[in-house]
Amino acid sequence: MPASSTTSAVSLLSVAITFGPKVGGYTAVKNIDLTAAPGEFIAIVGPTGCGKSTLLNASAGLLKPSHGEVEIFGAPLEGLNSRAGYLFQQDALMPWKTALQNVAVALEPQGVSRREAELKAREWLRRVGLAAFVDRYPHMLSGGQRKRVALAQMLIRNPEILLMDEPFGPLDAQTRQIMGNLLLELWAADRKAVLFVTHDLEEAIALADRVVVMSAGPASHIIGEFPVPLPRPRDIAEVRLEPAFHHIHKEIWASLRTEVQKAYAQGEEASP
Amino acid sequence: MNRLKLILLQVAVGLGFLLLWHVLTAYPILAPTRQTQFFFSTPLDVLARVWKEFASGEIWRHLGITLLETILAFAFGAGGGILFGFLFARRELLAAVFDPYIKAANALPRVVLAPIFALWFGLGIWSKVALGFTLVFFIVFFNVYQGVREVSPVVLANARMLGMNERQLLRHVYWPAALTWMFSSLHTSVGFALVGAVVGEYLGSSAGLGYKIHEAESVFDVTGVFAGMVILSIFVILIDLVVTLVERRLLVWRPAPSTNGQG
Ligand SMILES: Nc1ncnc2c1ncn2[C@@H]1O[C@H](COP(=O)(O)OP(=O)(O)OP(=O)(O)O)[C@@H](O)[C@H]1O
Ligand SMILES: [Mg+2]
């Protein structure tokens, strides 16, 4: 699509989101300006509770900003963002469907026949390393396996924008690396715009083109955007050994640390 | 506790009870045996009567009628409950307007309706089906309503992000969620269908287990009443077994298959 290559994939324009009443409610994020170009991989880091999931919800169209605008490929977002796939932070699989059914059903809205959908779903589950678990129900899978099913469910639809909220959170270090490399590989083959939320700064740097750091809430805003000029293709494990990686890490951590401490202190105050 | 030990203990409790009953009615311990036997019969007499009922084949017709009433009451009650549960859960206004009336109707003891149903539907099976219906309907209705309302918002949001339209959401999200709740109350609702049938028969009919018990009661045939109750219990246990099997099949995806069998 030549038209989309000139515009941005996702733009948050001076977005603010307030929960509860307009006056006296809790303003989670404020003055957020964030643009993801088509094919750009953006990682969002920030202290817990700062509003990372809230931003993804706004980009998905699940949450309407109290102020500001969300644009998708240059057009204001109305209702749900049909061009995005969303991997939720919480478990979002249908518990009454097996892994295979959960992935295959994602193709039903596109009118794909069930046989073909199941064939593709099998292929996707194989790719995320779950070939042996296709007939398991979510409760019979580990947290990490469920995340991988959700990943397959999102990717099988081939959305143009990927919204991922701590997708590798419950995975062990090894699987994290394997999945990270897999994600990079898939992304390199068919570049999509990615908004990737993580609490792991190293992971953010290893994966992204740009790392966005958010301040502690309330009224969280973006306190820094750090480009990651590491060459691609990258290997998650090896890229961490490069001197440039350490340099970037140090730089970002310097700004992130004070925010994390702030958020933590607030939590302490709030608790009785 | 292993299974065998559990079953042995369960059997021991039953045998202990029967033994106590036998000793107290066969020997003049509390009162002369003629008196105790008139009020409490004896376990051997009751078992003999149960055996006779089955051997003569007389009981099958009554069992069949009670079973038919139970099935019909359950089918109509569950069908209506699902339909209205869905409708009310998806239409806020409807639920809000009808809320007090539904609560009032549900709070009403259903037994008082039995004579009216007999008047409306006659003494045949339909007055019993109607009584069972009023019991089953509300249980299923409330459960389906709850199930649809309390679908996990994340699962729902995810399904919507996958691009599902209202029909697909209904099929893949709301319906299974509602069914889960319905099945979690399956034992109770099937039990109530049976209660409706038996109580209806008891209050006025010419066939069915409730009728058998009533008939025996009206001539102070305690043995007959107890025999009827034993047959009813066997019937209930068998129905509950079937329900458990159905439930296991339909709810394979659930973490722990519920094993609490009331009913
Ligand atoms: N529905 C809501 N009503 C009120 N407050 C909310 C609601 N949803 C989120 N919040 C608040 O908004 C803030 C941001 O929440 P959000 O879930 O976006 O945080 P997060 O950055 O994703 O945190 P984490 O890293 O722990 O997932 C939090 O302080 C949270 O308490
Ligand atoms: Mg979050």
The parent domain of residue B31 ranges over 1-40
Could you say which ligand is closest to the alpha carbon of residue A46?
Answer: 1
Determine the Cα–Cα distance for residues A29 and A11; give it in Å rounded to an integer: 15
**Of the partner residues A60, A95, A139, the one whose CB lies closest to the CB of residue B161:** A60
pLDDT in tens, B39-94: 889 999 999 999 998 999 888 999 999 999 999 999 999 999 999 998 998 888 98
Write out the CATH class of domain A1-83+162-272: alpha beta
Domain annotation covers residue B95: yes
Asked if residue B159 and residue B63 are part of one domain, the reply reads: yes
For the stretch B83-139, pLDDT in tens is: 999 899 888 898 889 989 988 888 888 888 888 998 999 888 999 999 999 999 999
Q: What is the pLDDT of residues A221-257, one digit of tens each?
A: 999 899 999 998 899 889 999 899 999 999 999 888 8
Q: What pLDDT score does A272 carry?
A: 46
Asked whether residue B217 falls in the same domain as residue B94, the answer is: yes
Furthest C-alpha separation in chain A: 56
Please report whether residue B30 resides in a domain.
yes
Protein residue closest via CA to atom 18 of ligand 1: A51
Residue of B nearest to A95 (CA): B253
pLDDT of residue B28: 87
Please tell me if the CB atom of residue A26 comes closer than 6 angstroms to any atom of ligand 1: yes
The number of the ligand 1 atom at minimal distance from the alpha carbon of A52 is 21
**A87: helix, coil or strand?**
strand
ipTM rounded to 2 decimals: 0.89
Q: From CA B216, how far away is CA B165, in angstroms rounded?
A: 59
User: Edge-to-edge strand order for the sheet containing A161-165?
Assistant: A84-87, A161-165, A193-197, A41-45, A210-214, A222-227
**B112 and B242 share a domain?**
yes
Closest CA to B202 of B216, B188, B223, B219: B216
* CA dist B89 → B142, B151, B174 (Å): 10, 11, 10
B258 located within any domain: no
Domain ranges of chain A: 1-83+162-272, 91-158
Ion ligand 2 nearby residues (CB, 5 A): A 53, 89
Q: How far is the CA of B171 from the centre of ligand 2 (A)?
A: 29
pLDDT digit string (tens) for A144-162?
A: 899 999 999 999 999 999 9
Q: How far is CA A32 from CA A13, A64, A162, A219, in A?
A: 7, 14, 19, 10
Q: Could you tell me the CA-to-CA distances from B56 to B49, B53, B64, B167, B237 in Å, in that order?
A: 10, 5, 15, 54, 22
Compute the distance between CA of residue A78 and CA of residue B161 in angstroms, rounded to an integer.
Answer: 14
- d(CA B15, ligand 1 centre) in Å: 60
CB B222 within 8 A of CB B40: yes
Q: Per-residue pLDDT tens for A175-223?
A: 888 889 989 998 988 889 999 999 889 999 999 999 999 998 788 999 9
Shared domain for B162 and B185, answered yes or no, is yes
Q: What are phi and psi of A166, to 5 degrees?
A: 45, 55
Of the candidates B161, B163, B176, which has its C-beta nearest A96's C-beta?
B176
- B157 neighbourhood in chain A, CB within 8 Å: 62, 86, 88, 92
Q: Has residue A171 got a pLDDT over 90? A: no
Closest residue by Cα to atom 22, ligand 1, is A53
Check if the beta carbon of residue B145 is closer than 8 Å to that of residue A78: no
Whether residues B162 and A105 touch (CB distance < 8 A) is answered with yes
Residue-averaged pLDDT of chain B: 88
pLDDT of residue A6: 54
For residue B163, what are the contacts with CB-CB under 8 A and spacing of at least 6? A82, A109, A110, A157
Domain identity same for B17 and B99 = no
Q: Which residue has the tokens 């919800």?
A: A57
Beta carbon of A150 within 6 Å of any ligand 1 atom = no
Signed CA dihedral, B117, B119, B122, B124: sign only: positive
How far CA B19 is from CA of A47, B11, B29, in Å, comes to 70, 12, 14
Q: Strands A67-72, A75-76: parallel, antiparallel or unpaired by DSSP?
A: antiparallel
Q: Which amino acid is at A269?
A: E
Taking CB atoms and an 8 Å cut-off, how many pairs form between chains A and B?
62
pLDDT at residue B257 greater than cutoff 50 = no
Is the pLDDT reported for residue A8 higher than 50?
A: yes
Question: Which pTM does this prediction carry?
Answer: 0.81
Q: Which residue of chain A has the CA closest to B152?
A: A92
Task: Work out how many domains chain B is built from and give that number.
Answer: 2
- pLDDT score at A81: 93
For residues B198 and B66, the answer to whether their CB atoms sit within 8 Å is yes
From the list A62, A90, A109, the residue facing B165 with the nearest CB is A109
Same domain, B173 and B117: yes
State the average pLDDT over residues A97-119.
95
Tell if the CB–CB gap between A88 and B154 is shorter than 8 Å.
yes
| Whether B157 and A95 lie within 8 Å, measured CB to CB | no
Q: What's the CA gap between B261 and B188, in Å, rounded?
A: 9
Is B103 part of any domain? yes
Q: Could you report how far apart the first and last alpha carbons of chain B are, in Å?
A: 25
Q: Does residue B255 form part of some domain?
A: no
Contact B172 A97 (CB under 8 A): yes
Q: What is the pLDDT of residues A38-60, one digit of tens each?
A: 999 999 999 888 999 999 999 99
Tell whether B132 and B199 lie within a shared domain: yes
Pocket of ligand 1 contains residue A52 by CB under 6 Å:
yes
Same domain, B13 and B78: no
| CA A21 and chain centroid, separation | 28
Q: Which of A21, A56, A4, A40 is nearest to A166 (CA)?
A: A56
pLDDT for the residue numbered B244: 87
Cβ neighbour number for residue B249 with a 10 Å cutoff: 8
CB B209 within 8 A of CB B62: yes
**Mean per-residue pLDDT, A10-23:** 90
Q: Which of B161, B175, B182 to mutate to test the interface with A (most CBs of A within 10 A)?
A: B161
CB atoms within 10 A of CB A12: 23
Residue nearest to atom 7 of ligand 1 (CA): A19
CA of residue A196 to ligand 2 center, whole Å: 11
Q: When comparing pLDDT for B81 and B180, which is higher? A: B81
Query: Do A103 and A145 contact (CB within 8 A), yes or no?
Result: no
pLDDT value at residue A96:
92
**3 state SS of A265:** helix
> Is the domain of B73 the same as that of B118?
yes
Alpha-carbon span A55 to A43, nearest angstrom: 12
What is the dihedral sign for C-alpha A239, A243, A247, A249?
positive
pLDDT band at B252 (very low <50, low <70, confident <90, very high): confident
| Res. B261 pLDDT band, cuts 50 70 90 | very low
Mean pLDDT value of segment B237-252: 86
A60-93 residue pLDDT tens: 999 999 999 999 998 999 999 999 999 999 999 9
pLDDT at B173 over 90: yes
Residue B259 lies in a domain: no
CA angle centred on B93, ends B89 and B95, rounded to 5°: 45
At A270 the pLDDT is: 56
CA of residue B17 to ligand 2 center, whole Å = 59
**Does the residue B262 lie in any domain?**
no
Asked if A139's CB is within 8 angstroms of B154's CB, the reply is no
Domain identity same for B13 and B65:
no
Residue B163: list chain A partners with CB under 8 A.
82, 109-110, 157
Shared domain check, B52 and B27: no
- In this structure, the residue with its CA closest to atom 1 of ligand 1 is A19
Say yes or no: B170 and B224 in one domain.
yes
